[in-house]
Structure 1
Amino acid sequence: MSEPSDAIDLPGQLQTLTRQLTASNQELYRHVALYLQVLRQVLPQRVQQACFHLATQVHPQRYAELPEERRRQLLGQINELVSRCSSLLTVEQLVILASQISREHLRRERHERQQLLEELSWDGESPNHSPEPEPLPPGSVQIAMAPPLTGGSFLMAALAGGAEAGPDDASADDEVADEDNDGDAQDQSEDEELDDEEEPASPGDRSLWQAGRLPEDPEQVLRWMDGMELALGRRLRNLSHAINVELLRGGVSRSLLPVSLLDAVLDGQLETMAAPANLMRLPLPFGASRSPQAHAMAVLLRPVELELEEPRLRTCRRRLQQHRQEVRRMAQQFRRLQRRSRIHQAEQLWLQDIRPPSIPSD
């Protein structure tokens, strides 16, 4: 059985590819840092434009009726939120948040697996089980009256709370508004705080999110880039929600869309109507007889819209996309070399195992 001429050099090829990846990681870090730098520069203006449209085009009467001191306080609070968010838009801060999001996903997956196992092992009895119903005739189908999902009713209730009230409508109940604010706005400023009982990260996750270092495996680098995108989206979503809370407190808007709805829009689970950049207009599926055009409108900052508005961000994004393609090519080559290395190792072990055992000489 002949051995490929380049099989012996497989470890050297893998080391060469790793050195190339390590060198390109420095360039990737600069690309991400530059993107975030430009984003911090343009974010205040983009937020101001979105809030300007809501205050002057959507709710002009409400904004005009506010006292001057209250208007100034509102703008000051929004600027403070943008400043606090901008201080967290750095590579180091996003790495921390990306690590936490990764652990959140891991914890959620484990919880879902545990629920599935409990459902599969359920014996059909519960502590307060009711008497068994009478057997149905053969061929009958029993239809459960309980809804299969609880998200639908929650969605309708959330949309009902998020409907834009007309100028003559009564304002939202202050107690309900305060409860929404205190429950959701905390996510913006304390996003990096997790439970003390949170499950530890896996070794692969710890190596992926080491402070000040990028992974030395191209597959892990791609995961790193994806995690940073998730963290950036989370920061902008939190800022959007906090701004919407301040608009509610300031009296410009009279409704608040929960974070879950913002996430549903960002994930493409809900269709939205046309709206200016960095704003979201969500159609409401009820009340057609009273208001055919009923909708909810709120601030929603998204990287793609910020990039469309800012050429410098588009340039940074194009560089990141090009770098991703290069890392993906390295990952494919890395997998091929690893497979060939494993095959070569297995072949060597096979040849070793089929050799007849040596007979010790007397």
Structure 2
Amino acid sequence: MTKTNPGRFFEDYTIGQTIRHAVPRTVAEGERALYTALYPQRFAVASSDAFALECGLDGSPIDDLITFHTVFGKTVPDISLNAVANLGYAEGRFLQSVFPGDTLRSESEVIGLKQNSNGKSGVVWVRTTGLNQSDEPVLSYVRWVMVRKRDVDAPAPETVIPDLADVVPPEALIVPEGLTFDSYDFALAGEPHRAADYEIGERIDHVDGVTIEEAEHMLATRLWQNTAKVHFDATHREDGRRLIYGGHIISLARALSFNGLANAQMIAAINGGAHANPCFAGDTVRAWSEVLDRAQVAPGIAALRLRLVATRGAAFALRGEDGKYLPDVLLDLDYWALIPA
């Protein structure tokens, strides 16, 4: 009897199946320091206890994407260990802040299945919930991933494709308990721009770039305890290259967006996202944003709906004449961020 875990294959999933993922993870100041070392993160609320206290919080929360990566990483051995690719996200909501010392775990429910026409793989949709040590939800999101079949002759399941919202409505966004921007220090935050200073349709080139090295992306993926073989094992792909974890690109692009969006302090929701093309060590990642919407969510607090694009190419280039993503586009992420109104 084998005791090792080969991971689930497409035929191992059933609609309604609930998976409790191992292993709980206590996040601490070490995660914050290493995150800042890996990504040029400078958002003030996630950087400074003093700044966060002035904003009504009990201290500086863990960066929202640390929460996302930690919760996501728990799911990999059960959801995407045998993945061909992680395809997208929807209906992501950050439900409460996470602070150093909190312990996170993850649960996922299978909500969709569709076998691919080649019969060798299929797409699995799961709704994942991250919970803290008090079993309170801190994060919920849907993702879909293409997973290999163990047996190509295994019968295809009934196709179920979930009906997912295009956007989390502003009234469903959670403002962290106590958060206020009444005493917000724009000088210390880094830029003077409020939500009212951004126009719908405005596009922002974040200017800076980061060249990815092999060691740092593998270190980042290990930090999140993400065990997907394509990120570490050079023999797992025919081209012998290690695929960069898509979350690494999300964090790089979000960190780069500080230049132009320094006051978009906290991510409230992820409306959708696509990893448009693979990324490898040696690629230089740049980012640009487009303002899609703006909403008031609490006194003095607004939410900007932003498209964040990570690319190896020029700013504001997204799709070709055929409607497909250009080959240099790595990430197309649609999210809501909280910002002084």
The TM-score with structure 2 as length reference comes to 0.26
Larger Rg: 1
Structure (1 or 2) with the greater strand fraction: 2
The TM-score with structure 1 as length reference comes to 0.25
